[in-house]
């Protein structure tokens, strides 16, 4: 068994590196992505260039 | 809000097959439809074409895919004399040598039907062309509606995930403008020729690859002329597509730029296929940019994967856990440290500790350590990649390295890690990549997945800090003015995943 592995907690999202690794390696990686940014409306506010209003 | 209905979209008109000619042959009603069809095929072909094509693949022979719904829209949905208009026009275009087509792959909606792939005649590459307005209200309305549909899907959270969406947003305000385009094209051509000549020096390079390079160098003038034209056309099309992005005309983009591949789920954007000589001219929000790259990415991923594999079984998850369990099955329920590559990890602990001595260039270190001092770094790197990612049955025939047999070579390069790499190609990871799955590609699939993991973890940090970036697989293009702080931030975070990872500023 390899003993050297560390899973530090350094992410701002309150998720640990360990959580990230598990999330990204899981079969349902799409769901994991949604847990990082669960609210699409909030996320959309961080985008400045897509002109949502010009379209239906 | 309603779609913009009075907007005129644009298409390429070619001298060798003008809109007037199209009108004379297919009638006024099909003039812009057929014109749009030809223009779209041309743009897509140039956009996806590579000079280092792998001849076996349709895409690389110049064939491009177009969905059935678009074919029907451009070439006509009605039946005339017992045949659909689009079929009649396709046959006619094919007879005239304008377009050839093949059917391949499976239609996701009807497994009995094959998809259409088209190849526009090479004569269009040399033809004079102008970028003209579409003077058809119905076609303009159709394109406008498609754009509305696209944004509406995005708005509902469909289509692109947050990472793709973020990059789309950044790319909308990006430009790529080269004043002395001819000089940059010359530079690229020279770099390519140097690369080919270098490759011919690699003693392990197989006959087939050697032949391919010779075929380009034999008629060097012809190759240079053709390559220059391709690079110029690629530049033109990139300009058109960047404008399309700015105009919100997503439907008219030459290809589906913003996507993930089936292979480790990597992110693609409008600059992913852009040559590096062009990339240095990218501006974000009008500001100059620079690339921050993960150094020695793939080989570091191999180390990190083996480390995850040797972690406590209850700590493992998903793909790594699956690989671990299947390796045990393969060995009839038994597993030991050597089979899991543990000695290979210990070798890397040494590399990590003494990395500074060779500027953390792991390829250089492995090259020296494996006894290939005389080999160039690129030659060694490519050989290592082939051993890791190639198909053993093919490689045994194509690798030629004097006295070294294939298995000896593998042992020299990977040490006891070779047993693990061999075992990995025997297990079934189909559920992790259902499209075109091949077991010999398992290592590549795993390493690309882990690369995405590391890069996306870093992307999350950049998004949180509101730094704009454009990702290029194992690197980020960022504003020069922010590059130092981003470099520092990324390194502090990535080293917390593992010390093996380092970002460098290019």
Which own/partner contact pairs does B66-69 have at CB distance under 8 Å and 24+ positions apart? B66/B37, B66/B40, B66/B41, B66/B116, B66/B118, B68/B107, B68/B115, B68/B116
Query: Nearest CA to CA, how far is A4 from chain B (Å)?
Result: 8
- Taking an 8 Å cut-off on Cβ atoms, the answer to whether B460 and A11 are in contact is yes
Q: How far is CA B379 from the centre of its chain?
A: 22
pLDDT at B404: 66
Whether the CB of B213 is below 8 Å from some CB of chain A: the reply is no
Which residues between 443 and 472 in chain B have a beta carbon less than 8 angstroms from any beta carbon of chain A? Answer: 449-450, 452-453, 456-457, 460-461, 463-464, 466
**DSSP secondary structure string for all residues of B182-251:** HHHHHHHHHHHHHHHHHHHH-TT--HHHHHHHHHHHHTHHHHHHHHHHHHHHHHHHHHHHHHHHHTT-GG
Look up residue B335 and give its two tokens. 């597993």
Query: Nearest CA to CA, how far is B207 from chain A (Å)?
Result: 39
Would you state the torsion angle of the CA atoms of residues B346, B302, B388, B314, taken in this order, to the nearest 10 degrees?
90
Mean of the per-residue pLDDT values for chain B? 89
pLDDT digits (tens, 9 = 90+) for B237-293: 999 999 999 999 999 999 999 998 877 888 999 999 999 999 999 999 999 999 999
Q: Are the C-beta atoms of residues B431 and B414 closer than 8 Å to each other?
A: no
Please state the rounded mean pLDDT for residues B2-17.
83
Least confident of A10-24, A35-49, B308-322, B405-419: A10-24
Which residues between 298 and 337 in chain B have a beta carbon less than 8 angstroms from any beta carbon of chain A? Answer: 307-308, 310-312, 315, 317-321
Q: Supply the pTM of this predicted model.
A: 0.91
Evaluate if residue B108 carries a pLDDT over 80.
Answer: no
Evaluate if residue B57 carries a pLDDT over 80.
Answer: no
**Nearest-angstrom CA–CA distance, B297 and B450:** 10
Please state the rounded mean pLDDT for residues B160-168.
90
- Note the ipTM here: 0.80
Evaluate if residue B430 carries a pLDDT over 50.
Answer: yes
**DSSP secondary structure string for all residues of B274-341:** S-HHHHTTEEETTEEEEEEEETTHHHHHHHHHHHHHTS-GGG--HHHHHHHHHHHHHTTT---TTTTT
Residue B26: strand, helix, or coil? helix
Give B-chain residues touching A26 at CB under 8 angstroms: 317-319
Evaluate if residue B502 carries a pLDDT over 80.
Answer: yes
Give A-chain residues touching B152 at CB under 8 angstroms: 55-56
* More confident site: B483 or B316: B483
Confidence grade of residue B488 (pLDDT, cut at 50, 70, 90): very high
Query: Nearest CA to CA, how far is B364 from chain A (Å)?
Result: 25
pLDDT at B1: 43
- Selecting from A21, A46, A49 the residue whose C-beta is nearest the C-beta of B453 gives A21
Evaluate if residue B12 carries a pLDDT over 90.
Answer: yes
Task: Give the distance between the most distant pair of CA atoms in chain B.
Answer: 77
- Selecting from B150, B161, B464 the residue whose C-beta is nearest the C-beta of A12 gives B464
Please state the rounded mean pLDDT for residues A17-24.
80
């Amino acid at each position: 068994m390899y003993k050297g592995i560390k899973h530090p907690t350094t992410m701002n999202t309150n998720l640990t590196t360990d959580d990230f690794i598990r999330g990204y390696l899981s079969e349902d990686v799409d769901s994991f992505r949604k847990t990082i940014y669960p609210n699409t409306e909030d996320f959309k506010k961080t985008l400045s260039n897509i002109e949502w209003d010009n379209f239906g | 809000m309603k779609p913009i209905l009075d907007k005129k979209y644009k298409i390429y008109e070619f001298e060798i097959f003008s809109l007037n000619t199209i009108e004379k042959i297919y009638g006024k009603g099909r003039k812009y439809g057929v014109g749009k069809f030809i223009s779209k095929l041309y743009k897509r072909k140039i956009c996806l074409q590579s000079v280092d094509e792998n001849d076996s693949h349709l895409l690389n022979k110049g064939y491009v895919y177009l969905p059935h719904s678009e074919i029907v829209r451009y070439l006509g949905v009605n039946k005339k004399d017992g045949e659909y208009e689009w079929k009649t026009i396709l046959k006619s275009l094919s007879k005239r040598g304008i377009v050839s087509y093949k059917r391949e792959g499976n239609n996701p909606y009807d497994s009995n039907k094959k998809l259409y792939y088209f190849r526009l005649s090479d004569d269009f590459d040399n033809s004079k062309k102008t970028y003209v307005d579409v003077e058809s209200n119905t076609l303009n309305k159709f394109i406008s509606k498609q754009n509305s549909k696209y944004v509406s899907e995005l708005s509902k959270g469909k289509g692109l995930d947050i990472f793709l969406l973020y990059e789309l947003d950044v790319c909308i305000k990006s430009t790529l403008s080269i004043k002395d385009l001819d000089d940059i094209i010359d530079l690229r051509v020279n770099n390519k020729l140097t690369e080919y000549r270098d490759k011919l020096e690699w003693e392990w390079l197989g006959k087939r690859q050697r032949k391919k390079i010779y075929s380009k160098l034999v008629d060097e003038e012809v190759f240079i002329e053709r390559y220059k034209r391709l690079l110029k056309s690629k530049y033109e099309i990139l300009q058109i597509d960047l404008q399309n992005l700015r105009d919100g005309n997503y439907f008219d983009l030459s290809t589906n730029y913003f996507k993930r591949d089936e292979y480790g789920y990597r992110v693609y954007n409008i600059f992913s296929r852009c040559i590096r000589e062009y990339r240095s001219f990218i501006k974000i929000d009008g500001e100059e940019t620079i690339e921050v790259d993960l150094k020695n990415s793939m080989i570091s991923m191999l180390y990190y994967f083996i480390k995850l594999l040797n972690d406590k079984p209850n700590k493992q998850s998903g793909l790594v856990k699956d690989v671990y369990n299947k390796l045990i099955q393969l060995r009839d329920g038994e597993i030991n440290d050597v089979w899991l590559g543990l000695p290979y990890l210990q070798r890397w602990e040494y590399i990590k500790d003494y990395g500074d001595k060779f500027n953390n260039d792991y390829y250089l270190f492995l090259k020296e350590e494996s006894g290939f001092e005389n080999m160039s770094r690129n030659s060694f790197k490519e050989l290592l990649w082939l051993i890791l990612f190639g198909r053993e049955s093919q490689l045994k025939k194509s690798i030629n390295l004097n006295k070294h047999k294939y298995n000896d070579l593998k042992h020299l390069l990977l040490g006891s890690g070779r047993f693990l790499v061999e075992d990995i190609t025997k297990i079934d990871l189909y559920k992790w990549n259902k499209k075109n799955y091949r077991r010999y590609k398992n290592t590549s699939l795993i390493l690309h997945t882990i690369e995405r993991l590391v890069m996306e973890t870093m992307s999350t940090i950049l998004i949180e800090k509101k730094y704009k970036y454009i990702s290029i697989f194992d690197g980020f293009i960022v504003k020069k003015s922010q590059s130092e702080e981003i470099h520092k931030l990324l390194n502090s975070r990535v080293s917390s995943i593992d010390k093996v990872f380092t970002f460098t500023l290019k």
